[in-house]
């Protein structure tokens, strides 16, 4: 049976991030992708022009429709926008026996806010405890923990702080850090440092969504967390290298790079 992965996230009308990026990644990695739309955005290569949240009951109905009938082998969360949506999704995840990848999306690639300030406490106390792997970038680390990461020791402190909220593993994404693209994966006992060369390509829209959905896809296929994250890192590095111009701003990574 083809593994099934559910993404719970916002849309991207430009197609480079959000649910669209998640589903492209899942298709490329050989799993059946399904979606729960939490918000609709007007978004392109230049930024986010508008966000409209879906009602909690619509999100809950989508989730139950998929999980109760089709079932899932992994779930990935992305943009949840409000405290009400974070709480509802956390309640749903608590009823689902599958690995969960939480991408605590706070801002877009262009710096546009995608999470209400009042939702941060719900992310800390309700959403992160459901995560098999939490995947904050450095901006989201600061948003959630107050820690400003400036070196590898800062990444360790950030991981410890994130793990303090309850996820089994923390993946601190150092894509905004100078030098190589360095990430730290840890469960508080073992550390895995993942390095990749920093590629000279500005078209990186959707990297966080792509990495999170790649991790979920590999978990659904039965890989352990360290192996799933390493495989996802290799996939997203190739997608960044093949990123292409689309529109007048930051273009998307190429989810189908292996097939070109």
Q: Which of 207, 212, 233, 237 is catalytic?
A: 207
Task: Tell me the whole-structure pTM to 2 decimals.
Answer: 0.97
Judge whether residue 63 has pLDDT over 70.
yes
Catalytic residue among 209, 210, 212, 251: 209
| Candidates 7, 77, 204, 237; catalytic one | 204
| DSSP secondary structure letters along 164-219 | TTS-SEEEEEETTSSSSEEEEEE-SS-EEEEEEPPPS----BTHHHHHHHHHHHHH
Average pLDDT, integer, range 148-165:
96
In the set 109, 173, 175, 237, the catalytic residue is 173
Over the stretch 31-54, which tens digit does the pLDDT of each residue have? 999 999 999 999 999 999 999 999
pLDDT at 7 over 80: yes
**188 and 164 in contact (C-beta within 8 Å)?**
no
208 in catalytic set: yes
pLDDT greater at residue 47 or residue 75: 75
Is 206 considered catalytic here?
yes
The predicted model gives 225-252 an average pLDDT of 97
Is 209 known to be catalytic? yes
- pLDDT of 110: 63
pLDDT in tens, 77-98: 999 989 999 999 999 999 999 9
Write down the catalytic residue from 14, 18, 33, 206. Answer: 206
The pLDDT, as a whole number, for residue 109 is: 66
Taking residues 131-140, report their average pLDDT.
Answer: 96
| 207 among known catalytic residues | yes
Greater confidence (18 vs 176) lies with 18
96 part of the active site: no
Instruction: Spell 156-186 as b/e; 16+ CB within 10 A means b.
Output: ebbbebbbebebbbbbbbbbebeeebbbbbb
Residue-wise pLDDT tens digits, 218-230:
999 999 999 999 9
Q: Is 204 a catalytic residue?
A: yes
Q: Measured between alpha carbons, how far is 20 from 27 in angstroms, rounded to an integer?
A: 11
User: Is residue 112 pLDDT above 80, yes or no?
Assistant: no
Catalytic residue among 208, 212, 243, 251: 208
Segment 160-191, tens digit of pLDDT: 999 999 999 999 999 777 788 999 999 999 99
């Amino acid at each position: 049976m083809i593994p099934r992965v559910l993404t719970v996230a916002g849309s991207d009308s430009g197609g480079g991030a959000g649910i669209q990026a998640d589903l492209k990644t899942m298709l490329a990695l050989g799993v059946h992708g399904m979606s729960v739309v939490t918000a609709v955005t007007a978004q392109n290569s230049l930024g986010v022009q508008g966000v409209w949240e879906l009602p909690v009951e619509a999100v809950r109905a989508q989730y139950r429709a998929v999980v109760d009938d089709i079932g899932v082998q992994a779930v990935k969360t992305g943009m949840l926008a409000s405290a009400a949506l974070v709480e509802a999704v956390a309640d749903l995840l608590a009823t689902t026996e599958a690995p969960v990848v939480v991408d605590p999306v706070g801002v877009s690639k262009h710096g546009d806010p995608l999470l209400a300030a009042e939702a941060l406490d719900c992310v800390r106390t309700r959403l992160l405890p459901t995560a098999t792997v939490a995947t904050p970038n450095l901006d989201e680390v600061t948003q959630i923990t107050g820690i400003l990461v400036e070196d590898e020791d800062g990444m360790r402190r950030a991981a410890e702080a994130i793990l303090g909220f309850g996820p089994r593993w923390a993946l601190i994404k150092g894509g905004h850090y100078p030098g190589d693209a360095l990430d730290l994966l840890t469960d508080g006992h073992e550390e895995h440092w993942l390095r990749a060369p920093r590629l000279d390509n500005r078209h990186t829209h959707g990297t966080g969504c792509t990495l999170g959905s790649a991790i979920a896809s590999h978990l659904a296929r039965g890989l352990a967390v360290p192996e799933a994250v390493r495989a996802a890192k290799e996939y997203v590095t190739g997608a960044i290298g093949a990123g292409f111009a689309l529109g007048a701003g930051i273009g998307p990574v190429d989810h189908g790079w292996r097939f070109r």
